[in-house]
Chain A
Amino acid sequence: MKTMDCKDVLANLSSYTDGEGSDELRQALEEHISRCRRCRVVFDTTGTMLKIVTDAEPFDVPLSVSARLYARLEKVLSEG
């Protein structure tokens, strides 16, 4: 089986998270993180970070911004 060093793991971290890459590549990555604490932490916490971001639903439209949007659209919609 192909072996990976920490640099390879980091380079392939995103693809792995997104379910891409060949089976061989995925296995090599899994094998590396099972024996490398640092890579395992980076891998796990990147996953946790993505979950936190998704759950947080960032960036509401501020009320004043929304109000001005509708005011402008009101004008556009009532144009002939």
Chain B
Amino acid sequence: MQKDERANHDVPDKDDFLLVESVLAGERRAFEPLVRRHERRVFRVTLAILGNVEDAEEAMQDTFVKAFRHLDQFRKESRFTTWLTRIAINEAIQKRNTRKNFVPLEQAENAEKNFTPRRYEPWKSNPEQLYGKQEIHRFVEEAIQSLPEIYREAFVLRDVEELSAEEAAAALEISVPALKSRLLRARLMMREALAEKFEEPPTLKTKIVHTALDAGTAVAMRLMRAAGR
């Protein structure tokens, strides 16, 4: 293997290509390591869209079965992971659309239209010293799960799976501006959801000062002067 940086950077995709070639050449067992490499990503994507483990599991299984059966349709101009992610998104969306409790997108979008931040305290600078890794992991998962569907999927595809805005929009079959507007709200909601765990508890004095600065009223100004004494 070459040692220059580009070659190193390309290794994961190259490995995918080699495994795909082996499967197509008749070595079916080579599909297993491909699954191992990507099961987590596929699970995250299906869970993001479907919101519960049972449905996500089914969509994940269907994704890999479909990928195996249609592997000859994979073109090497794209990354294997992009191709697979797209299948996963399709499977999950199809499944979601057949669900009884499915809320049509427009309705869901309108419900959250006027989202504005409510918490304005800075966050502590050392979260990893305050909580264990497992704990932070759980906070993050709970926060993501608390997002409404359309925001959750935008957030996971962009900020967890790191798809480009164009890739994520195409996969979800929405416009890029729509994706971006959902992502913005999703990020603000995530910030709000995690604030309780990570923000600096305000002292009474800063609370009063900030109220005064934010409100800018004469009463608040007097409070501020009182706090300063």
Q: State the A residues within 8 Å of B (CB).
A: 10-11, 13-15, 17-18, 37-38, 41-42, 44-46, 48-50, 52-62, 65-66, 68-70, 72-73, 76-77
20 example contacts (A-B, Cβ-Cβ < 8 A) are as follows: A14-B187, A42-B120, A45-B122, A45-B123, A45-B191, A45-B195, A46-B187, A46-B188, A46-B191, A50-B187, A52-B198, A54-B160, A55-B136, A56-B141, A59-B144, A62-B53, A65-B57, A68-B61, A73-B61, A77-B68
List, in ascending order, chain A residues with CB within 8 A of B144's CB: 53, 58-59
Contact segment of B2-10, B32-40, B96-104, B221-229: B32-40
B144 to chain A, nearest CB (A): 6
Chain B, residue nearest A13 (CB): B184
Secondary structure dominating the interface of B = helix
List, in ascending order, chain A residues with CB within 8 A of B199's CB: 45
Secondary structure dominating the interface of A = helix
Assembly CA distance A59 to B178 (angstroms): 26
B76 within 8 A of A: no
A65 to chain B, nearest CB (A): 5
List, in ascending order, chain A residues with CB within 8 A of B194's CB: 49, 52
Assembly CA distance A58 to B147 (angstroms): 14
A73 to chain B, nearest CB (A): 6
Partner of B140 from A44, A56, A72 at Cβ < 8 Å: A56
Assembly CA distance A15 to B158 (angstroms): 13
B43 touches A61 (CB 8 A): yes
List, in ascending order, chain A residues with CB within 8 A of B140's CB: 52-53, 56, 58
B187 touches A41 (CB 8 A): no
- In chain B, positions 29-56 with a C-beta closer than 8 Å to chain A are 29, 31-32, 35, 39-40, 43-44, 47, 53
B216 within 8 A of A: no
A70 to chain B, nearest CB (A): 7
B40 touches A59 (CB 8 A): yes
Q: State the B residues within 8 Å of A (CB).
A: 28-29, 31-32, 35, 39-40, 43-44, 47, 53, 57, 60-61, 64-65, 68-69, 116-117, 120-123, 127-128, 133, 136-137, 139-141, 144, 159-160, 165, 180, 183-184, 187-188, 190-191, 194-195, 198-199, 210, 213-214
Given known A46-B191, A50-B187, contact A73–B31 (CB-CB < 8 A): yes
B117 to chain A, nearest CB (A): 5
A30 to chain B, nearest CB (A): 18
